[in-house]
Amino acid sequence: MNYWLAKSEPEAYSWAQLVQDGRTVWTGVRNFQARNNLRAMKTGDHVFFYHSVTDKQVVGLARVAKEFYPDATATEGDWSCVDLEPVKPLHTPVPLETIKTDAVLKTMPLVKQSRLSVTPLTRAQAERLLELGGK
């Protein structure tokens, strides 16, 4: 199993909306590195849901429900999307400030490549997020 972090502005698409929807198509990624990360996702992989811009915190755990396929919202180019479904909210959201100072989390791509919307996590980072989030 692989672990990922996907970012979304809560005003555009929030964790609460994903829970309400029960499943979503993760579209609109227009960065080659993030697109390649989407293409590396496998069904069942865990995806941490991060509220960017305003909240700046990891708020929930989702899973890949369907592996990559062409993004129908793309009008040009070779872009992909995946389907995500919620697993559970984190009992305690993990803020960016904690991520930046935690010995295990401070090397997450979120800290060093903050503009990427989809990034990989190590198993240790995923386990630490779950620990801080109150499993």
DSSP string, 53-79: TTT-EEEEEEEEEEEEEE-TT-SSS--
> Domain boundaries in the chain?
3-132
Phi, psi of 35 (to 5 degrees): -60, -45
Is this model's pTM higher than 0.85 or not?
A: yes
Tell me the sheet residues that pair with 61.
48, 88
Q: Are 89 and 45 in contact (CB under 8 A)?
A: no
* Contacts for 119 with CB less than 8 Å, ≥ 6 apart: 4, 5, 34, 37, 108, 109, 110, 113
User: Tokens for 68?
Assistant: 């990559």
pLDDT at 114: 87
pLDDT at 73: 96
Tell me, what amino acid is at 19?
Answer: V
3-132 maps to CATH 3.10.590.10: yes
pLDDT in tens, 3-59: 999 999 999 999 999 999 999 999 999 999 999 999 999 999 999 999 999 999 999
